[in-house]
A and B are shown apart, each in its own frame.
Chain A
């Protein structure tokens, strides 16, 4: 996902050729006496290579260690209840989960058409000069810290939303979703762009040769061919949105109420991430509240893990088929 930004001009296919000559290289070098130093370096690299797995496991273990006591201390009906009032020992996580889901879904609903259309424009339609302007700007967006966007959302977007809606406050789920949409756009655009890029030129030629216009070729041939990559883009964007913390905390108003009424989108809401960030600083270590916040962390971890797993499986499938990379 992170590499996606960089590989636009580096698509030379050289994966297949790699393995054999290199192992020959090792064969050639073996048996020399200065090798134990090299042996050390190579094994250190091996160990560090595997460290990524170690970190994922470690993160999950520590979340479990601090979060599991939740399930012994709080009864399940309360834990999945509708009321989050930690001061009264009511730890209903439902409003937080639904809050996150609401904000994420609306964000993706906004970001998906914008993102795919922009990716199509940049990759298929735009003249070179426009591409040269658009791409760095989208990368800039990816670089803006979420707290800065949250600050902008608080001071500029929220008052705007309030005036347009005539609502009592501009700190609403919608404001959060709007910000999240823009924050997930760089991910969606760059992954979707890569997907479009991977569609062989022959597909486009074939479409045009059949007498279709470029417009028809794009939407009937190229985009459908890039479908799996675009789905990956959406999922990664979703993962980004559901895990986003600071901006959401600053603009959603943080009221832990069930977002089930029709106007919920335009009222304050509270997400799981914002709850952890806002409350962890003030709880006593080892208290029930402390453990519940880690429990919410477990939910978040598992959710994003599943989303990313799904995204990754699409990527791996694509690799196995071979054609698209």
Chain B
């Protein structure tokens, strides 16, 4: 009997702890939505900043973040998916494969600001890209790579072995099997993984600090060698570097960034559960 009561109390405590974890998340999202909603208007989303960013909109920051995310996608998806195909379909379990996995685990763990240093050293200075969208996108792409590789590999591995043997038994080559059967089957999972990686890239600040982001540039970038404003860096700037910044604009910017990132997150989650339910195997 005493054991039963202890179990009751214990489970209640566990539930309480989960609440302690979850409630602040609700608070963060709730407060930012509640306070930011007032600031967000059509003008806020589509106008250039005015009066030292204290008025007007945040268009160049939004465009900058979208461009950077696209650039990241262009660079990271082919490399990441190919890497995952190698690990899942080609690599045998030997020391090389193990060191690749080790490298991926380590890439995932390198601090974002160290990626920033690396991007500065390699892309900005050594390759002479300057602080540019190109340099920033490539830096973000390398940071995103481990996420895309590991989620894509997961998706490829979840395709049953029989699909491969059947393809082979029909005379298909290994690559035909991958291209025509495995990849299409794993596609939803791959998309989910790519989205999860890209939303990380879209929200990151530290890697773009020294590689692309600029304080204030009230025009849209013209080429990949231009600097640009970006939403995360803009939020950092207006909340810490600009005195007398209206709170409303700060919350509005935070809200736009949050919505952008969380909507990507939502799409990824929905896709995943939709295809999981539809899957026959």
Contact = CB atoms under 8 A, between A and B. Distances in A.
Given A19-B92, A55-B142, A130-B18, 17 more contacts: A2-B147, A2-B197, A10-B154, A10-B157, A12-B158, A25-B177, A42-B90, A49-B83, A49-B85, A50-B100, A122-B18, A140-B265, A143-B199, A144-B261, A215-B6, A243-B111, A315-B105
Central interface residue in A10, A147, A150, by most chain B CB within 10 Å: A147
Interface residues on chain A, size class: 35 or more
A147 B230 CA distance: 12
Interface in A56-96: 56, 58-59, 62-63, 65-66
Nearest to A157: B24
Interface of A: 1-3, 5-7, 9-10, 12, 14, 17-19, 21-22, 24-26, 28-29, 32, 35, 38, 41-42, 44-46, 48-53, 55-56, 58-59, 62-63, 65-66, 113-115, 117-118, 120-122, 125-126, 130, 134, 136-141, 143-152, 154-156, 182, 185, 189, 213-216, 236, 239-240, 242-246, 250, 273, 276-277, 280-281, 285, 293-294, 297, 300-301, 304-305, 307-309, 311-312, 315-316
A121 B15 contact: yes
Interface of B: 3-4, 6-7, 10-11, 13-15, 17-18, 20-22, 24-29, 31-32, 78-79, 82-83, 85-87, 89-93, 96, 98-118, 120-122, 125-126, 142, 145-147, 149-151, 153-155, 157-158, 160-161, 164-165, 167-168, 171-177, 189, 192-193, 196-197, 199-200, 202-206, 209-210, 232-233, 235-236, 239-240, 247, 250, 254, 257-258, 261-262, 264-265, 269, 272, 276
Interface centre among B104, B111, B164, B272 (most CB of A within 10 A): B111
A316 B86 CA distance: 19
Q: Which of A38, A146, A246 has the most CB of B within 10 A?
A: A246
A244 B206 CA distance: 9
Nearest to A10: B158
A297 B17 CA distance: 36
A214 B7 contact: yes
A243 B257 CA distance: 22
For the complex, would chain B's binding face be called helix, strand, loop or mixed by DSSP majority?
helix
A25 B28 contact: no
Given A2-B151, A25-B164, A48-B83, A245 B105 contact: no
A305 B14 contact: no
Contacts of A137: 22, 25-26
Nearest to A19: B92
Nearest to B81: A48
Nearest to A212: B3
Contacts of A145: 202-205, 232, 257-258, 261
B87 A140 contact: no
A45 B145 contact: no
A309 B236 CA distance: 32
A15 B169 CA distance: 20
B174 A25 contact: yes
Given A63-B121, A281-B210, A245 B112 contact: yes
A4 B83 CA distance: 18
Contacts of A52: 83, 100, 103-104, 107, 145-146, 149
